[in-house]
Amino acid sequence: MPPTYTGQLGPEPRDPDQAFWDPEMQTMPRERLEALQLERLRALVDRALSTPVPLVAAKLAAAGVTAGADLSSLDDLASIPTTVKQDLRDSEAADPPWGTYRFVGPSGCVRMGQSTGTTGTPTVALLTRRDIWVEYESAARTWWRNGWRPGQIVTHAHPAYLYGGGVMLSGSLEYFGALNLWVAPPDTDELAEQALRMWHRVRPDVSMVAFSLGRFQEVAAKLGLDGTGLPGFELRGADERGLPFMTAGFECYAYAGGPCGVDPGGHVHEDFAIVQAVDPRTGREVPDGTWGNLVVTTLDRDNALVRYDLEEAVLVLREPCGCGETSIRAFWGGRFKDFLDVQGRYFNLSEVERALRKVPAVTTPSLEYVVVKPVDPDAPLRVRVELADGDAAATADACRAAIADKLGVLAEVEVVERASLARSGYKAVRLVDG
Using the CB atoms, write b or e for 295-323: b if 16+ within 10 Å: bbbbbbbbbbbbbbbbbbbbbbbeeebeb
Q: Dmax of the chain from CA atoms? A: 69
Q: Helices 349-356 and 392-407, interaxial angle, to 10°?
A: 130
- What is d(CA 26, CA 267) in angstroms, rounded to the nearest whole number? 9
Nearer CB in complex with Zn ion: 325/368: 325
Smallest separation (angstroms) from Zn ion to the CB of 264: 9
Nearer CB in complex with Zn ion: 18/194: 18
Smallest separation (angstroms) from Zn ion to the CB of 261: 8
Smallest separation (angstroms) from Zn ion to the CB of 325: 5
- What is d(CA 176, CA 275) in angstroms, rounded to the nearest whole number? 25
Smallest separation (angstroms) from Zn ion to the CB of 237: 9
Nearer CB in complex with Zn ion: 84/321: 321
Nearer CB in complex with Zn ion: 56/323: 323
Nearer CB in complex with Zn ion: 321/349: 321
Smallest separation (angstroms) from Zn ion to the CB of 321: 3
Nearer CB in complex with Zn ion: 330/371: 330
Q: Which of 170, 311, 193 shows the shortest CA–CA distance to 252?
A: 311
- What is d(CA 191, CA 199) in angstroms, rounded to the nearest whole number? 13
- Residue 405: which residues within 8 A CB-CB, separation 6 or more? 355, 358
Nearer CB in complex with Zn ion: 49/321: 321
* Residues binding Zn ion (CB under 5 A): 260, 262, 321, 323, 325
The rounded Cα 18 to chain-centroid distance in angstroms is: 27
Smallest separation (angstroms) from Zn ion to the CB of 240: 18
Smallest separation (angstroms) from Zn ion to the CB of 77: 25
Nearer CB in complex with Zn ion: 262/431: 262
Smallest separation (angstroms) from Zn ion to the CB of 299: 21
- What is d(CA 229, CA 209) in angstroms, rounded to the nearest whole number? 12
Smallest separation (angstroms) from Zn ion to the CB of 288: 16
Nearer CB in complex with Zn ion: 111/236: 236
The rounded Cα 146 to chain-centroid distance in angstroms is: 16
Nearer CB in complex with Zn ion: 262/367: 262
Considering only CA atoms, give the Rg of the chain.
Answer: 23
The answer to whether 244 and 264 are in contact (CB under 8 A) is: yes
Nearer CB in complex with Zn ion: 263/285: 263
Smallest separation (angstroms) from Zn ion to the CB of 87: 34
- What is d(CA 315, CA 249) in angstroms, rounded to the nearest whole number? 17
- What is d(CA 73, CA 81) in angstroms, rounded to the nearest whole number? 16
Smallest separation (angstroms) from Zn ion to the CB of 324: 7
